[in-house]
Amino acid sequence: MIPTQKTKRVLFWLGLSLPMVALIAMTWLVHQTGGQFNTSFNWVLRNYKMLDMLEQVQSHIVDAEANQRGFLLTGREEYIEPYHAAMTSVNDDLAQLKKFTANDPAQQANLAALERLVADELVFDPATAFSSGQFSTNASVVTVTARGKSKIESLRRVLFTAREEQEQALSRHQQAAETDVVSTQIMSLVLIVAVAVALVFVVVILLRLEKLQQFVTVCAWTGQVRYQGQWLRLDEFLKHQFGISVSHSLSKEAAEKMMKEIEELNRPGSGTGFPPRPPV
């Protein structure tokens, strides 16, 4: 089916508008992709920072417990200052972690449990640790050592839970990011195809317009059209050039002229018409 002039105009403007719409959509997609990439990048950095802070607080807890145990086993004052420094670091780490995870209820619960364990197991007053100010000879070294190991294991379990939850959250976010990347690639492919189709429309319409704008040589005597070295009737030219089928009819002026000529021929006495019909 040969498209009409109106259809051609619609296709032409559609071909022009599709690339513009696709360009706007691709600009929006690039903007969204850039925003998602920055968000994902910042989120990943935040997660790794959280994991690093958990490792750091665990290291400080181990230092505090080691110096606490050293003082309880020996009673030597040289363990007090490192103990206080480690406990200060532990408290600072916990404060930073609580601030860092303010929007994460699960991690807030883990940190609250860790704070309770630190207060119950690591906080003590060296001045009142021994009633006589000396290391108690009745205290068992094995008992103190076992108690220290039990403290560390309890604290490590809480830290392990917090670290595991953070790693799971990181894994979920990475999967979501991968899904977003696939969706973005599909949308980009669709937009590229849309632009390609639109450009094909534009090229076809422009070629049609170029054909229409070419000069056509018409015979002034016969009305035939010159086409590729041959003289064709107008209907043949339209068929070859544009695929247009032509039907024949009479215009109103031609029909009136023909009727007048027939009347002139049939008028009595004209000498050229048909003989009058005999009376019935």
Q: Which helix (H) or strand (E) holds 70?
A: helix 5-74
Averaged in consecutive runs of 10 residues, what is the pLDDT profile of the chain (280 residues)? 57 66 72 68 80 89 88 84 92 90 88 89 77 47 67 84 84 76 76 73 68 72 83 82 74 82 74 50
DSSP 113: H
Q: What is the pLDDT of residue 9?
A: 64
Which phi and psi (to 5°) does residue 68 adopt?
-60, -45
Task: Record the tokens describing residue 148, joined without a space.
Answer: 């220290």
Closest CA to 9 of 198, 193, 202: 202
- pTM of this prediction? 0.53
Other Cβ atoms closer than 10 A to 43: 16
**Edge-to-edge strand list for the sheet holding 230-232:** 217-218, 225-227, 230-232
Other Cβ atoms closer than 10 A to 262: 11
Cβ proximity of 57 and 90 under 8 Å = yes
Q: What is the pLDDT of residue 238?
A: 77
Cα(164)–Cα(156) distance, rounded to whole angstroms? 12
Q: Which distant-in-sequence residues (6+ apart) come within 8 Å of 33 by Cβ?
A: 184
> So where are the chain's domains?
6-208, 215-273
* Second-level CATH architecture of 6-208: Up-down Bundle (1.20)
Closest CA to 105 of 169, 60, 39: 169
